[in-house]
Structure 1
Amino acid sequence: MSLMRSLNRALTATTGLQVRRAARPSAAPARPPVYHEPSAEDRLLRRPVFVISSIRSGSTLLRMMLDTHSRLRAPHELHISRLEVGYGSSVSEYAMQNLGLERGDLEHLLWDRVLHRELVRSGKEFIVEKTPGNVFCHERIRDSWPDARFLLLLRHPESVARSWHESDPVKRPYEQAVADVLRHVEAVDRARGTLGEACTVRYEDITADPDRELRRLCAYLGVEFEPGMADYGAKSDPDLKRGLGDWRASIRTGTVQPGRALPAPDEVHPSLRPYCASWGYS
């Protein structure tokens, strides 16, 4: 007699319950959620801002400076695109569909509510969301908030790969770091082609002249530049946590640190060279 059958006999005798094998996961890829264009009453947020970038591109530095502004709330990475909605039963799914709400619509309502809650708690006017994973769903973000604004943050791809490798060299050998970064860089490049309305800023320009770049970004966002934004203040452990953005010593200083020297052309990994060229890094 199999172990499963023995368990079932014992459970049935005592509780009336039975153990069933879990269904094997389907080999077919999950279908993307269906959603509709939102109406005005579907959104609490107005004109949210999303930073589109690769990992290790300076998005934490950018958000720290923007968060000093009296009208901008730029919290740590929120990873809202990973928040998903599931139906508890077929009846709840049927009920939502009769309201005109598919699963994607419900997820967008959840995303909007989470961001709006954080904005209200801050007492500010506009929220800035900087999770690097946004780059993989920027089109859905734009569909969810048609009035969203986008900051496209670029950094030399080889510098990104080296920074990613150096953040955990044992876990991420250089070649693995390049492979990880290439996936993000490819996504950023796609975003460059689809987010024509985005304001592009380079990490190297931010570190070279932060006030100049912050003035330009403020003008794009329709807010007045406020002196001192580059001096965002020294931070402690509770303010910067691994997994929610950069947490290392340089970001804790409270001031913009000099960027690393750009790599020479022959120091760039071959897989990253096409993007260095198309992004203007000769």
Structure 2
Amino acid sequence: MSLARHLNRALTATTGLQVRRTPAAARRAALAPRSAERPAAPYRCPPAGEPAPDRLLRRPVFIISSIRSGSTLLRMMMDAHPRLHAPHELHLGRMEVVCGNWFSERAMSALGLGRGDLEHLLWDRVLHRELTRSGKDFVVEKTPANAYMYRRLKDCWPDARFVFLLRHPESTARSWHESDPVKRPYDKAVEDVLPYLAAVEEARAADADGFTVRYEDVTEDPEREMRRLCAFLGLDYAPAMLHYGARKGGELVRGLGDWRENIRTGTVQPGRALPADDAIPEPLRAASAAWGYTS
């Protein structure tokens, strides 16, 4: 009889309990990482106003906007500038670093690197690699989910610059609804865009040095708005920003939503008419007023 059985018999005789091995499947499930329950990644913030000493990237530009706010149009216009490289959405927040065991975690800790610090190094390397391949001077990143991680981006790159792109909240919700009316009834679309609007406004309020531009102004007078944007970035205005072309790298760039014609033609087209004040649903009225669309 094995030692384990002897122990179990003695334990049962004295306490009525037994020790049993957990099934392998249950052990694996218990040890599997659960992303929804992962704690926030700790990281060290460099001194305010100073670039992190271990960053390769300098002065990146982040477009902070809601979904369906014309960020694809703005990205393509900025990418047409000879000194700006604006790749497709990179979803940096979904790129995570995990130490596979206690030994690697301890080793990184000895270097003064937590999981958040390692993720910042990864993000920086990816963006720097992309910028280097482009041959340009500054990178522009425009993933809408960046609205939720403004503080993290600012901590990663203290010298980052932020462009806040606004659009009438009702137009944003309607565009989101029209992109898939069956999946997203209008009321559901309103609920979906509300967190984005709140996150954009929170980031905008926290960054007095950021640049704010409205989608409607870009479509109404693109040259004026691009001149303003270039001045904010310390760049000369480039007329090519207004004629960014329908093809990039030999591949047709396909756009979605109200700016589909902008993407197809490669020139800026007028946006949709603004809704009447009484057509704005109650949940969107505060944001509409805060962004100057209503009184």
Calculate the TM-score normalised by the size of structure 1: 0.88
Return 5+ residue gaps in structure 1 as ranges. 1-17
Paired letter, 2:253: L
Paired letter, 1:159: S
Post-superposition offset of 1:227:
1.5
Cα distance between partner residues in 2 of 1:28 and 1:135: 19
Q: Show structure 1 runs of 4+ deviating over 6 A.
A: 24-28
2:76 to 50, 55, 64: 64
1:96 to 108, 122, 125: 108
1:149 to 153, 161, 175: 161
| Aligned partners of 1:50 and 1:150 also within 8 Å | yes
Cα distance between partner residues in 2 of 1:85 and 1:27: 12
1:113 to 106, 125, 138: 125
For residues 168-202 of structure 1, give each alpha carbon's deviation from its aligned partner in whole angstroms, at most 9, with x where no partner exists: 11111111111111111111111121111100000
Aligned to 2:24, the other structure's residue is in SS state coil
1:36 to 9, 21, 44: 44
Which residue is equivalent to 1:6? Answer: none
Cα distance between partner residues in 2 of 1:164 and 1:141: 26
For residues 207-265 of structure 1, give each alpha carbon's deviation from its aligned partner in whole angstroms, at most 9, with x where no partner exists: 0000000000001001100123111101389453689x999454222111110000001
Which residue is equivalent to 1:168? Answer: 180
| Root-mean-square deviation (Å) | 2.3
Which residue is equivalent to 2:146? Answer: 134
Aligned to 1:84, the other structure's residue is in SS state coil
Cα distance between partner residues in 1 of 2:246 and 2:217: 22
| Aligned partners of 2:97 and 2:115 also within 8 Å | yes
Percent of aligned pairs with the same amino acid: 62
| Aligned partners of 1:234 and 1:252 also within 8 Å | yes
Post-superposition offset of 1:40:
4.0
Choose 225-234 or 133-142, whichever is displaced more.
225-234
Post-superposition offset of 1:19:
2.9
Cα distance between partner residues in 2 of 1:216 and 1:242: 25
Aligned to 1:200, the other structure's residue is in SS state strand
Q: Does 1:188 align with 2:200?
A: yes
Cα distance between partner residues in 2 of 1:84 and 1:247: 32
For residues 135-174 of structure 1, give each alpha carbon's deviation from its aligned partner in whole angstroms, at most 9, with x where no partner exists: 0000110000000000010000000000011111111111
Calculate the TM-score normalised by the size of structure 2: 0.84
Cα distance between partner residues in 2 of 1:259 and 1:273: 21
Taking a change above 3 Å as real, the CA distance of residues 139 and 230 of structure 1, as seen in their structure-2 partners, is: same
Which residue is equivalent to 1:20? Answer: 25
Taking a change above 3 Å as real, the CA distance of residues 33 and 241 of structure 1, as seen in their structure-2 partners, is: farther
Aligned to 2:53, the other structure's residue is in SS state helix
Taking a change above 3 Å as real, the CA distance of residues 119 and 136 of structure 1, as seen in their structure-2 partners, is: same
Cα distance between partner residues in 1 of 2:162 and 2:169: 20
Which residue is equivalent to 2:292? Answer: 280
Larger Rg: 2
Taking a change above 3 Å as real, the CA distance of residues 278 and 143 of structure 1, as seen in their structure-2 partners, is: same
Which residue is equivalent to 1:5? Answer: none
Which residue is equivalent to 1:48? Answer: 60
Paired letter, 1:155: R
Choose 31-40 or 164-173, whichever is displaced more.
31-40
Which residue is equivalent to 2:94? Answer: 82
Cα distance between partner residues in 2 of 1:93 and 1:221: 39
Aligned to 1:181, the other structure's residue is in SS state helix
Taking a change above 3 Å as real, the CA distance of residues 229 and 30 of structure 1, as seen in their structure-2 partners, is: same
Aligned to 2:213, the other structure's residue is in SS state strand
Paired letter, 2:246: A
Aligned to 2:176, the other structure's residue is in SS state helix
| Aligned partners of 2:70 and 2:259 also within 8 Å | no
Paired letter, 2:226: L
| Aligned partners of 1:44 and 1:113 also within 8 Å | yes
Aligned to 2:239, the other structure's residue is in SS state coil
Aligned to 1:127, the other structure's residue is in SS state strand
Q: Does 1:265 align with 2:277?
A: yes
Paired letter, 2:139: I
2:216 to 193, 204, 207: 204
Cα distance between partner residues in 2 of 1:104 and 1:27: 15
Cα distance between partner residues in 1 of 2:127 and 2:253: 19
Query: Aligned residue pairs: how many?
Result: 264
